[in-house]
């Protein structure tokens, strides 16, 4: 990791400074420089798409029975104390603690029958890849996340922004702090993390921000080793790639997108602030991350992931939810409304989910335990057919009874929407074997 030292020029959201973002390392994960990342993008050439995805990982898994699938006919020890409220769409009800989302239900698609988590382990892997970490043969290098696949296949040219940006900070439980891993695609397709692990691995001492004026010298000092080691035949294009690389490093687009002070105060107030500190060993409940995500895709980022909260409520489930649900309700609804206000709702898809559901019966300490048999999610944007609920569970919320939806089906839908042919597009793993984007799943007809 290489950082240019220099003065701080004001703060962005979550306490970030301008100095934090003049960081070469975030764009040079695993010793691969940004020019090399751009070379890899140029080599892919499989598909191009102007569309973007914002994915919210609800770390720890939310209780579906207390969000979108309340069971009022079940005994109290199953249904809990929450009451349902009507929404803008007749016949659809949600938790009383999500009034803002209820008011825009015509723009949402709750899914009440998410399946596919085979293990019940706390792992963001299935949310970012669509594949369970168990029950399937994992290729050498591991499965790549959606953001990494998009960084490889959906980038036509440098936009001055990294294509894949993860808002996840370092977390006590590492999967809760993952923005999605690149898997067998390699470190060149890692997420750029403005506030995450590895930011301070290496510091390039003696290089100040003043030396940004000497662009040739700066890039030479950053990437000398990679240039000398490059034997791939791409040396002829080095100048062009370096020019693109410095376009990202010196572009104001990333800084401007991260600087929410440029937003109208009414917009900022609608999103709110939330918390900036991690919740336990999970992620923060930072509402400004929703606004930053919208600004990033608006500026040209292809995939932005947000890690929100820690929903693993084995104790005091309903009192804990009172600190999570209102904040999530505000941030998610503000994002969806904003995308519609700006005319971005057809070109930006939004997905929020956790890794599994929670037990139908409330335990002795008032919590809900892990329940991989069924969970929930909510989608918006993408030009999808919104204003509907997909799937249903039984009377106690323990088993899907209508239209089980596998995580892989949502991924198939997103890839199809992005213009990628899931039946033909493959990516080679580290052994050279071609791997399909999804494991035989098809796009959801209910959405497209």
By three-state DSSP, how is residue 155 classified? coil
Q: Establish if 245 belongs to a structural domain.
A: no
Q: Which two tokens stand for residue 137?
A: 């043969």
**Number of alpha carbons in the 13 Å side-chain half-sphere of residue 359:** 15
Q: Which two tokens stand for residue 95?
A: 């938790």
Q: Establish if 162 belongs to a structural domain.
A: yes
Q: Establish if 41 belongs to a structural domain.
A: no
Q: Establish if 388 belongs to a structural domain.
A: yes
Confidence (pLDDT) at 49: 61
Confidence (pLDDT) at 2: 38
Confidence (pLDDT) at 160: 78
Domain count, the chain: 1
Axis-axis angle for helices 146-153, 34-44 (nearest 10) = 70
2 φ/ψ angles, rounded to the nearest 5 degrees: -120, 125
Q: Establish if 9 belongs to a structural domain.
A: no
pLDDT by 10s per residue, the chain, length 448: 334 334 443 444 444 444 444 443 444 333 344 555 445 444 444 445 689 999 999 999 999 999 999 999 999 999 999 999 999 999 999 999 999 999 999 999 999 999 999 888 888 999 999 998 876 789 999 999 999 999 999 987 666 789 999 999 899 999 999 999 999 999 999 999 987 554 443 333 444 545 445 545 545 554 554 454 454 444 444 444 454 455 555 567 888 999 999 999 999 999 999 999 999 999 999 999 999 999 999 999 999 999 999 999 999 999 999 999 999 999 999 999 999 999 999 999 999 999 999 999 999 999 999 999 999 999 999 999 999 999 999 999 999 999 999 999 999 999 999 999 999 999 999 999 999 999 999 999 999 9
Q: What Å distances lie between residue 297 and 17, 93, 358, 443, CA to CA?
A: 21, 31, 32, 23
Confidence (pLDDT) at 236: 44
Confidence (pLDDT) at 134: 77
Render the burial of 353-389: b for 16+ CB within 10 Å, e for the rest: bbbbbbbbbbeeeebbbbbbbbbbbbbbbbebebbbb
Q: Establish if 20 belongs to a structural domain.
A: no
Confidence (pLDDT) at 413: 98
Confidence (pLDDT) at 242: 53
Confidence (pLDDT) at 50: 82
CB 209 within 8 A of CB 186: no
Instruction: Provide the residue range defining the domain that includes 386.
Output: 48-195+256-436
CB 355 within 8 A of CB 134: no
> Please, where are the H alpha helices in 63-145?
76-79, 99-103, 125-129
Q: What is the CATH number of the domain that holds 123?
A: 3.40.720.10
Confidence (pLDDT) at 239: 45
- Reference 49, options 175, 170, 155; nearest CA is 155
Instruction: Please name every residue paired with 265 in a beta bridge, in sequence order, or none if there are none.
Output: none
């Amino acid at each position: 990791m290489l950082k240019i030292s220099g003065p701080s020029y004001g703060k962005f959201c979550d306490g970030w400074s301008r100095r934090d973002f003049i960081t070469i390392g975030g764009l040079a994960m695993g010793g691969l420089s940004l020019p090399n990342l751009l070379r890899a993008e140029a080599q892919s050439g499989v598909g191009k798409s102007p569309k973007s995805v914002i994915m919210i990982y609800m770390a720890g898994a939310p209780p579906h029975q207390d969000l979108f699938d309340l069971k009022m006919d079940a005994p109290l020890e199953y249904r809990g104390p929450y009451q349902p409220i009507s929404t803008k769409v007749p016949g659809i009800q949600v938790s009383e603690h999500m009034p803002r989302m209820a008011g825009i239900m015509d723009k949402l698609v709750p899914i009440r029958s998410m399946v596919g988590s085979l293990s019940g382990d706390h792992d963001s892997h299935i949310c970012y890849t669509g594949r369970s970490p168990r029950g399937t043969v994992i290729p050498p290098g591991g499965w790549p996340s959606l953001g990494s696949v998009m960084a490889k296949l959906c980038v036509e040219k440098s936009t001055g922004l990294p294509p894949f940006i993860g808002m996840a900070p370092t977390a006590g439980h590492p999967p809760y702090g993952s923005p999605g891993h690149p898997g067998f695609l390699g470190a060149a397709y890692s997420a750029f993390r403005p506030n995450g692990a590895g930011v301070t691995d290496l510091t390039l001492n003696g290089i100040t921000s003043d030396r940004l004026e000497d662009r040739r010298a700066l890039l030479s000092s950053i990437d000398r080793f990679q240039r000398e080691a490059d034997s791939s035949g791409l040396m002829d294009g080095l100048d062009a790639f370096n020019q693109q690389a410095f376009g990202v490093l010196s572009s104001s687009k990333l800084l401007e997108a991260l600087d929410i002070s440029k937003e109208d105060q009414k917009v900022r107030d609608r999103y709110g602030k939330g918390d900036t500190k991690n919740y336990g060993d999970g992620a923060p409940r930072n509402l400004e991350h929703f606004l930053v995500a919208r600004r990033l895709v608006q500026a040209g980022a292809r995939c932005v992931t947000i890690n929100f909260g820690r929903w693993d409520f084995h104790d005091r489930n309903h009192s804990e939810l009172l600190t999570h649900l209102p904040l999530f309700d505000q941030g998610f609804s503000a994002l969806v409304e904003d995308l519609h206000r700006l005319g971005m709702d057809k070109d930006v898809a939004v997905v929020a989910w956790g890794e599994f559901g929670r037990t139908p019966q409330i335990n002795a300490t008032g919590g809900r335990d892990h329940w991989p048999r069924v969970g929930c999610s909510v989608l918006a944007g993408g030009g999808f057919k919104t204003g509907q609920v997909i799937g249903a569970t039984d009377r106690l919320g323990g088993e899907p009874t209508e239209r089980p939806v596998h995580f892989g089906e949502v991924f198939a839908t997103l890839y199809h929407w992005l213009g990628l042919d899931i039946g033909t597009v493959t990516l080679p793993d580290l052994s050279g074997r071609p791997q399909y984007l999804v494991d035989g799943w098809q796009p959801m007809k209910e959405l497209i």
